């Protein structure tokens, strides 16, 4: 079930475009005519975020603490291709986007048309129809950029996370 009313947009995200009352993350892919493809990622912005330590949601530099949103299957590798987020941006993302919030029982089944500059969302194509995985918030002071299967990724191998918390749907995300 999706909340009928979108969550309030934090002041730190007020510069982002909105669609249907939801702030559009900075790394969200866009079509040539300017439409946002929710869930699909702009490959160039993703790499910029990883390399320059920018937040994937608001596009601004990280502060002292940052969060990686990770699927259960990503945890053993201690790395993810998704850029890190500010804690505030993490809280908004969990409230605003049902996939990370785990509110959908299954991934979407509608494919999106993407070009070569776009990275398909986690829900396609191999995972289409598969049960949704649990997500975790991994709190860090920093990460190293590695190359994983030819793509840049954020890794915390060799350092101890501040904490790893399952994303809890019944309690608000808090720092």
Q: Does 152 help bind Zn ion (rule: CB under 5 A)?
A: no
Looking at 55, 70, 122, 167, which residue binds Zn ion (CB under 5 A)?
Answer: 55
Looking at 58, 69, 70, 119, which residue binds Zn ion (CB under 5 A)?
Answer: 58
CB of 123 to Zn ion, least distance (A): 23
**Nearer of residues 23 and 55 to Zn ion, judged by Cβ:** 55
**Nearer of residues 29 and 89 to Zn ion, judged by Cβ:** 89
CB of 19 to Zn ion, least distance (A): 18
132-166 core/surface letters (b: 16 or more CB in 10 A; e: else): beebbbbbbeebeeeeeeeebbbbbeeeebeeeee
- φ, ψ (nearest 5 deg) of residue 42: -75, 115
Nearest CA to 37 out of 165, 123, 139 is that of: 123
Residues 77-106 touching Zn ion, rule: CB under 5 A, are 86, 89
**Nearer of residues 39 and 83 to Zn ion, judged by Cβ:** 83
Contact 90, 118 (CB under 8 A): no
Nearest CA to 167 out of 83, 68, 84, 86 is that of: 68
Beta bridge partners of 61: 54
Q: Does 66 help bind Zn ion (rule: CB under 5 A)?
A: no
- φ, ψ (nearest 5 deg) of residue 167: -80, 115
CB of 115 to Zn ion, least distance (A): 26
Q: Does 57 help bind Zn ion (rule: CB under 5 A)?
A: yes
Applying CB under 5 A, which residues contact Zn ion? 55, 57-58, 86, 89
């Amino acid at each position: 079930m999706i909340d009928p009313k979108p969550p309030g947009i934090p002041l730190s995200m007020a510069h982002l475009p909105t669609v249907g009352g939801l702030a559009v993350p900075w790394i969200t892919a866009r079509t040539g005519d300017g439409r946002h493809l929710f869930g699909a990622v702009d490959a160039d912005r993703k790499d910029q975020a990883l390399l320059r330590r920018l937040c994937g949601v608001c596009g601004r530099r990280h502060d002292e603490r940052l969060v990686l949103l990770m699927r259960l299957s990503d945890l053993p590798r201690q790395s993810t291709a998704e850029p890190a987020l500010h804690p505030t941006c993490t809280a908004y993302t969990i409230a605003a986007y049902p996939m990370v919030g785990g509110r959908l029982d299954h991934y979407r089944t509608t494919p999106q048309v993407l070009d070569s500059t776009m990275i398909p969302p986690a829900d396609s194509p191999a995972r289409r129809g598969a049960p949704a995985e649990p997500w975790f918030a991994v709190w860090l002071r920093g990460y190293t950029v590695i190359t994983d299967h030819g793509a840049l990724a954020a890794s915390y191998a060799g350092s101890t996370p501040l904490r790893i918390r399952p994303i809890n749907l019944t309690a608000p995300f808090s720092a």
